Structure 1
Amino acid sequence: MPLLTPARIIARYTVLEALRSRLLWLFVLAACGAAGLASFLQQLALTESGAVQAALLAAMLRLASVFLLVTFIVTSMAREAADKGLELLLALPMPRAAYLLGKLLGYGALAGVPAVLFGLLMALFAAPAQSALWALSLLGELWIVATFSLLCVASLQQALPALAAASGFYVLARMVGSLQLLAHSSLAGQSWPQQAMTGAIDLLALLLPRLDAFTRTEWLLYATGNWQALAGVAAQTAIYVALLASCALCDFYRRNI
C-alpha cells in the first residue's frame, strides 16, 4: 500500500476526532476569553492602554494555542493506545511511517486553526501585515511543539509524563535565550561550578529551538517584523520538525507492538 494514501486517511480521521472533541470550539472560547481578559486588564493601565491590551492578548493567545493543541495530542494518542486502536491500525498492511506521517499531517492541519483564528483577531489590534507574520510564526511554533508532543507520547506511552515533558520543552525553549543572557552577563569571576552551569546552558541553547524568536509581541506593537525574521522562523521549523519526526519514527520502529 502506498505511503501517502493511508497517511491521508489517518490525517482525515485525526481532524474528525478533533471536531468531535470540540477542539475548534475550545479555540474559539479561548479567543473570546483572552479578548475579554485583555480588555479588562487594559482598563488598569495608566498609559498606552492599547499596547498593553495587544501585548496581553498576544501572550494569552499563544499560550492557549500551545496548551490546547499539546493536551489534545497527548490525550488523543494515549487514549488510542489504551483502547488498542494503535494495535488495530498497525495490524493493517501499511508501514508504521504512514501512521506517524498521518498523525503529523492531521496535527499540522489542526495547528493552522488557531494560527489563522488568532492572527485574524490580532489584526484588530495591530497592523494586518504584522499580524500575518505573527500568525505564520505561531504556526511554525505549533508545528514544532506538536511534533515534540508526538515524540513524547510515542516514547513515554503515558499521558501525564508526556504532557509534563512537552510542557517543560516549551518553557525551556522559550526561556533559554534569557537564561543564556543571564549566565553570560556575569561570566567574569565565575567559579568552576558556575562556568559549568553556563556551559550547560549554552549546550541547551544549541540543542533547543529558539522559540523566543518566534511569535514576538514587539512585531505587533512596533511593526518590527519582517520577512527575514520569518525566514529564520521557517528554517528552524523545518529543521526541528524533520529532526523530531525522525526521532519519533526511530523510536516507533524499535518498539514491539
Structure 2
Amino acid sequence: MKATALFILLTAIRDRLFPAIIALIVLITGITLALSETAMVEEHAMHVAMSAGVTRIVLVMGVMLFVCFHIRAMFDQKEMDVILSRPVSRTQLVLGLWLGFAAVAALLVCAEMLVLLVVGVPSFLTLLVWSASVGWECLLVIAIAMFASLSNKSAVSSVLISLTFYTLGRLMAFFVATANARRVFETPLLHDALRYLVEALSVLMPRLDLFADSAWLVYDIAPYHEHIMLAAIQTVIFIPFLLGLTLIDVHRKQF
C-alpha cells in the first residue's frame, strides 16, 4: 500500500503536476491583483477573496483531471497489471491509490496556502482552517474521481461524471433555495415533488458549497463554525462511503 502511494507521488513529479499547478496559482494570483486594483474600496479584501476562490477551483480541477487520466493510463500501460501481479490485495490497491492522490493534494494545498500567505490574509489561523477545508474537498473529489475512473473505461467519461458530481455539490445550496423560495411549477404536486427531490439529493450528496468559503479569509471564521463542522462531518462520512463503493466495484471486476 505504501509502495502504491509512493508510486502515485513519483508519477505526479514525473508528469510535472506540481510546477504546472503552482504556476497557474501564481498566475491567477497576479491576475486577480490587477483586477482588484479596479475596485473603489476594499481592494485587498477583493484580491484575497478572488485569489482564494479561483485558485481553489484550479487546484480541485487539477487533482480531478490527474486522478482520472492517471488511472486510465495505468490500465492502458499495463501498470495496473504489474501492481496486481505482486502480493497486493485489491483493497490495498484502492487504499494505496487514494493515499497517494491524497498526498499529492496535500502538497498542492500547502503550496496554495503559502501563496495566499504571501498575498496577505488577516489571520494565519483562518488561513490554516480554510486550507484544511480545501484539503477535505480535494479528498472527497479524489474519492469521487477514483470511483468514476475505476468504473469506466474512458477517461473523458470519468472526468465528466466527476465534474457533474462536483458541480451539483457546489450548487446544491442554490437548488435548495430556489426550490423553497419560489414556485417552479404551477401545479402544486409537481412543485412539492421537485422540492422533496432536491432536498433528498442535498442529503445524499456532499454539500461542497460549505467547504472553503472565501468569506472566511475576509471576515474570519467565527461566524462560520457550523459550516466548518458540517464540512468535517461530511468528509468523515462520504469518503469511506465512496471508497466502499469503489472497493465493491473493483472486487467485482476482472482485470
- TM-score (structure 2 length as normaliser): 0.93
Partner of 2:216: 219
Q: Judging changes above 3 Å, is the alpha-carbon distance between structure 1 residues 89 and 46 closer, same or farther for their aligned structure 2 residues?
A: same
Stretch of structure 1 that moved more, 30-39 or 113-122: 113-122
Aligned length: 251
Shift of 1:218: 1.0
Greater displacement, 107-116 / 136-145: 107-116
Secondary structure, aligned partner of 2:39: coil
Any residues of structure 2 matched to 1:148-187 within 5 Å, and which?
148-186=144-182
Maintained 8 Å contact 1:70/1:149: yes
**In terms of mean alpha carbon deviation, does 8-17 or 80-89 score higher?**
80-89
CA-to-partner distance for each residue in 1:103-151, whole Å, 9 max, x for gaps?
A: 0110111110122111222233312111111100000000000111000
Structure 1 gap segments, 5+ residues each = 1-6
The alpha-carbon distance between structure 1 residues 188 and 228, as it changes in their structure 2 partners (threshold 3 A), is closer
Q: Does 1:194 align with 2:188?
A: no
> Secondary structure in 1 aligned to 2:38?
coil
Q: Partner letter of residue 206 of structure 1?
A: V
Among 118, 122, 125, the alignment partner of 2:120 is 125
Q: Distance in 2 between matches of 1:32 and 1:228?
A: 31
Match in the other structure for 1:3:
none
* 1:209 has 2:206 as partner: yes
Q: Which residues of structure 2 form unaligned runs of 5+?
A: none
Partner amino acid, structure 2, of 1:224: I
- Name the counterpart of 2:109: 115
The CA RMSD measured in Å over matched residues stands at 1.6
Query: Contact conserved, 1:120 with 1:131, CA < 8 A, in 2?
Result: no
Q: What TM-score, normalized to structure 1?
A: 0.93
Tell me by how many angstroms 1:236 deviates.
1.1
Could you say which residue in structure 2 is the equivalent of 1:233? 231
2:68 touches 2:146 (CA, 8 Å); kept in 1? yes
Distance 1:188 1:174, change over 3 A: closer
4+ aligned runs moved over 4 Å, structure 1: 187-190, 225-229
Alpha-carbon offset, residue 65 of structure 1: 0.5
CA distance in 2, matches of 1:8, 1:231: 30
Q: Tell me, in whole angstroms, the C-alpha distance in 2 between the residues paired with 1:219 and 1:85.
A: 42
1:47 to 41, 49, 72: 41
The structural deviation recorded for 1:189 is 8.4
SS in structure 2 of the partner of residue 177 of structure 1: helix
User: Distance in 2 between the 1:55 and 1:135 partners?
Assistant: 13
Kept after mapping to 2: 8 A contact 1:62/1:138: yes
Whether contact under 8 Å (2:126, 2:217) holds in the other structure is yes
Write the distance in 1 (CA, Å) between the matches of 2:154 and 2:184.
44
2: CA distance, partners of 1:194 / 1:188: 6
Q: Which moved more, 1:179-188 or 1:16-25?
A: 179-188
Alpha-carbon distance in 2 for matches of 1:132, 1:17:
28
Q: Contact 2:210/2:228 (CA < 8 Å) preserved in 1? A: no
The one of 85, 92, 101 aligned to 1:91: 85
The percentage of aligned residue pairs carrying the same residue is 23
